[in-house]
Structure 1
């Protein structure tokens, strides 16, 4: 099993992913679990795939990523293609990312309850909630965060659940809180939609401190990241079970992606197959970790939108140059 983490400029974030792997090995002592990172930390995505394939006839590639953007749709599939070329005797199976799902919703609801218990007046009718995601140039990834915010409203008594992002897209946390205060909220709960610590989690803590100073009449509570919750381990274990059983996935997020299709038409050669052939074999599990608060720059294959008519979008796809063995 190869677990692929995003990687962080903050060493503590990378250390947490290694601790996550150690805990998972304890939960599953019979599994061969390895780890690599998309960027900022060794081993790299390419090195991790090749290392996992050396002593295995089958590698299960599992992204530890909340939402599907450039890494899940383009970069990891490209790395798997590269590994297949170099290891023709090894089968690589690519599992889905964590996705917006009920287990993640359970984690968010639990974090919200904890924050409410810390407040002086735990009244959901006067307590606004802000679900704070990382932000992406991929509308599907942002839409998954929005879906979780809506589900959170549906499953709680809170009348105001807003969405905000730390970068790339809008609205930002400050604007969401400003709106909630104008609407009469006496308390605000900030729920970061992050798996592990990193530079962006540190930034969120500073932003909440500034908001406390800006709005002294409002009580704020902030939850932590949730990569070590039991639901995350269970989701990955379900991915492993589905891949082993040959359960057909509805669609991996890169399949049918118009950005991939456009890139292929331009001759960039991003096509790849997700062939599920399950002959008995020794397995290596590749885990992909992502959507940790690792970095601030946009890396999601940015695409410009020109709105000449209602549905007319022209997408200019920009592809970073990869050095051999390194993620962009």
Structure 2
């Protein structure tokens, strides 16, 4: 029996191509780290489920590192995954479960966004950045911490370059939507706009984004648009997860889950979820690191 299994937790998508990309990611990661046992499961829409993945990993190892492959999470990271770990602990008392952080707002993700922005500017033949607006477009959340992570990345992106206008837009749950932000940037005199999707993998929402940008091109013929792609296979993502593993191995990954933005706690109790303000999910402490936010009722994509 292997000592440790690394269990990567993907969100899961209604679009099978998004789930296939996550499985491809795991295949590539195994090639990078052949000595590691790396498995994958999904929160929804694809097998194996989170619960099945945890139990299968526990059957193979004495220690399981649970790593969410999620950019900005709330309900999933703060509630669903911890509760699934608690359930697995009850069924596998001899196995140690350690829970690492989601990907979060950090320098490696900023580097990916900067690379995507450079590619968009190249697509537009490198126009004046002061007349080129940037829109960071992500899945909206009812958790303010998740939206705050995106706001942080937008601010960092602005501080790292010469663009005077870096805005946020969301595909659902919260505001503003992409169309409204484009309207504002057009009124402010932007002659080019670069849309940067803040998504790891393809899915129904990525498909919708490309359709929206095509519509905007026809609505605003005076503005040139560039639209980036999702960014799941960049070296920064692999390196970030590898650092998470090393931190867990070294015991540097223990902390508590923050509750800021938990506007859905009462709803969770009504639905039967045992989510408390203190996040005391089990008698044994879980190992948490910098979790983020995802709503229970968010729009789902890859």
Q: TM over 0.5, yes or no?
A: yes
Instruction: Give the equivalent residue in structure 1 for 2:53.
Output: 48
Matches within 5 A, 1:1-328: 1-120=6-125, 122-253=127-258, 268-270=273-275, 271-273=280-282, 275=285, 300-301=295-296
Distance change in 2, residues 1:267/1:25 (3 Å):
closer
CA deviation string 1:208-254 (max 9, x = no partner): 00000000110000110111001101110011001110014454446
Deviation at 1:266, TM superposition (A): 11
Deviation at 1:275, TM superposition (A): 3.6
Q: 103-112 or 117-126: which moved more?
A: 117-126
Unpaired runs of at least 5, structure 1: 278-289, 292-298, 303-328
- Please give the alpha-carbon distance, in whole angstroms, between the structure 2 residues aligned to 1:137 and 1:108: 23
Retained in 1: the 8 A contact 2:144–2:261? no
Given the two structures, how large is their TM-score scaled by the length of structure 2? 0.88
Query: How big is the alpha-carbon RMSD for the aligned residues of Structure 1 and Structure 2?
Result: 2.5
- Please give the alpha-carbon distance, in whole angstroms, between the structure 1 residues aligned to 2:259 and 2:22: 25
Aligned residues: 284
Retained in 1: the 8 A contact 2:65–2:99? yes
Retained in 2: the 8 A contact 1:137–1:169? yes
- Please give the alpha-carbon distance, in whole angstroms, between the structure 2 residues aligned to 1:272 and 1:21: 29
- Please give the alpha-carbon distance, in whole angstroms, between the structure 1 residues aligned to 2:266 and 2:250: 29
- Please give the alpha-carbon distance, in whole angstroms, between the structure 2 residues aligned to 1:135 and 1:112: 21
Deviation at 1:301, TM superposition (A): 3.6
Unpaired runs of at least 5, structure 2: 1-5, 298-302
SS of residue matched to 2:119 = helix
CA deviation string 1:278-314 (max 9, x = no partner): xxxxxxxxxxxx99xxxxxxx8246xxxxxxxxxxxx
Of structures 1 and 2, the one scoring higher in RCO (CA 8 A, sep 6+) is 1
Retained in 1: the 8 A contact 2:100–2:248? yes
- Please give the alpha-carbon distance, in whole angstroms, between the structure 1 residues aligned to 2:126 and 2:110: 24
Distance change in 2, residues 1:244/1:115 (3 Å):
same
Deviation at 1:276, TM superposition (A): 6.8
Given the two structures, how large is their TM-score scaled by the length of structure 1? 0.81
Retained in 2: the 8 A contact 1:254–1:260? no
